[in-house]
Amino acid sequence: MKEHNLTKLQLAEAIRTYEESLALEPYQAELVKLQQHIERHNLKLIIIFEGRDAAGKGSVIGSVSRYMNPKHYRIVALGRPTEEERSQWYFQRYIKHFPHGGEVVLFDRSWYNRAMVESVFGFCTQEEHALFMKHVVPFEESLVDQGTLLVKLYFSVSKVKQAIRFEQRRSDPLRQWKLSEIDLQAQSMWDQFTQAKYNMLKQTNTAKAPWHIIRSSDKHKARMETMKLILSQVDY
């Protein structure tokens, strides 16, 4: 009986996943049209995906890019900076991944690492953090003024949902690679991240480069909302 019930649960989950995938397809088709518009008109689009660990950024990026032409988009997820990169202007290692004409680049975390993770964990000095916060707004405004389309997304997940997702990573051999040392400290440092988040959003939300908040405790709703928002930002 227990095996039968488990099978029914698995079937129900599979049906739900399939129905959710079908619901996304019309928006994914529109994203393909948007990408073709970017390519046809030689435009440049950067989409930033920011948020706490386990906020669902990676899965949303996968859904957004699923049917895009891989020749004309890139996903950028940078690791720790090298010693050479540490000696350079902070934005330099991101700039080299910026799109050329006709291309879309999706940043799975971005230069805002300095405002969140680096600041909270002490990976940068207070002076380096202050310098970043001083320069990031004119940096982005210059980027937009020179013709790059910039969409900034922040994925907001609840503390309870984050804990559940961490436990899923811990217990699932297929997901354990996602669990990092920083993840293990994210719950205990929740309040510090919250303060850093509010400071970042307040100081870097501008008319030319506004933040868009995506509630991501429900992954399907987050995928849907993200696609709708991206489509609304480009007149294609």
Task: Give the angle subtended at the CA of 96 by the CAs of 206 and 228, to the nearest 5°.
Answer: 45
Q: What is the band of 179 on the pLDDT scale with cuts at 50, 70, 90? A: confident
105: helix, coil or strand? Answer: strand
Q: How far apart are CA 193 and CA 195, in angstroms?
A: 5
8 A C-beta contact, residue 76 and residue 97: yes
Strand order in the sheet with 148-156: 73-76, 103-108, 44-51, 148-156, 211-215
8 A C-beta contact, residue 31 and residue 45: no
Residue 182 has what pLDDT?
81
Mention the CATH class of domain 27-233: alpha beta
Please compute the mean of the pLDDT values over residues 147-155 and round it to a whole number. Answer: 99
Does the model's pTM come out above 0.75?
Answer: yes
With a pLDDT cut of 70, the percent of the chain lying above it is: 97
Tokens 């990026």 locate to 61
pLDDT of residue 209 exceeding 60: yes
8 A C-beta contact, residue 150 and residue 234: no
